[in-house]
Amino acid sequence: EEEALIHSEKLSVAGQMAAGIAHEIRNPLTSLIGFSKFLKTKIDKYHEYFDIMLVELDRINSIVQEFMALAKPQACQFRKHDLNRIIGNVLTLLETQAILKDVQIIPKLDSDATELLCDENQLKQVFVNVLKNAIEAMPSGGIITITLTNVDAQQIAVSIIDEGTGIPEDQLPKLGGPFFTTKDSGTGLGLMICYRIIEGHQGKMDIRSVPGIGTTVSIRLPRNL
């Protein structure tokens, strides 16, 4: 038990360091991106090199942003929120992206008593990450169902079901490990952040998947921590 405690403390120090370094990288990165864009408009040659630079800078930017989202514990703000509204906001945010990919997101929300104690921004981040993965897993479109269920007076469940490529069985244990990605422009940080946020809410997240059929992400959250 003591070992487990030490391990989790180490993780949180590492997480805080990562967030700190990410913060320091952000400002110089912003000026590199800005000046690269500016120079591209001023110089008539080498556009393909500028484009490569911008794509790579954008990749660094995504990694930095995701690391900054590894919230430090003291930055958490737990309040009562309506989970229906949080999910509704996230769906509005992702609507355009989904339509462009021919993906339809069907919410099955439960209107009764969906209040829970949570950090709103952190939970939004979880749903954005999971839904983005679902969209990215359906290159030729399809349906995503997001269902909210009142399990009982203590717990709320959310499941996100897609009809995407699915995940091969041997990759399931790697999910949530830092930098595990199968995508050309992925960071492999999205699920790690989700697991960490859900743990911080004393909840649980499971991923089940059948290659060729789709993936289900199930999240359980206690109403009160």
Give the one residue of 162, 163, 195, 198 binding ligand ADP; rule: CB under 6 A. Answer: 162
Contact status: 103 vs ligand ADP (CB under 6 A): no
Q: Which residue is nearest to Mg ion (CB)?
A: 190
Contact status: 190 vs Mg ion (CB under 5 A): yes
Give the one residue of 107, 141, 142, 186 binding ligand ADP; rule: CB under 6 A. Answer: 186
Distance CA 128, CA 122 (A): 10
Measured CA to CA in angstroms, residue 207 lies from 101, 173, 176 at distances of: 23, 10, 10
Return the number of the residue (189 or 197) whose C-beta is nearest ligand ADP.
189
Contact status: 133 vs Mg ion (CB under 5 A): yes
- Cα torsion for 80, 81, 83, 84, to the nearest 10°? 140
State phi, psi for 150 to the nearest 5 degrees: -85, 105
Give the one residue of 87, 156, 215, 219 binding ligand ADP; rule: CB under 6 A. Answer: 215
DSSP reduced 3-state for 121: helix
Using CB atoms within 10 A of its CB, is residue 116 exposed (0-12), middle (13-18) or buried (19+)?
A: buried
Contact status: 187 vs ligand ADP (CB under 6 A): yes
Contact status: 129 vs ligand ADP (CB under 6 A): yes
Distance CA 49, CA 143 (A): 38
Which of 10-18, 62-70, 187-195, 205-213 is the region at the interface with Mg ion (rule: CB under 5 A)? 187-195
Residues that bind ligand ADP (CB under 6 A): 129, 133-134, 137, 162, 164-167, 175, 180-183, 186-191, 215
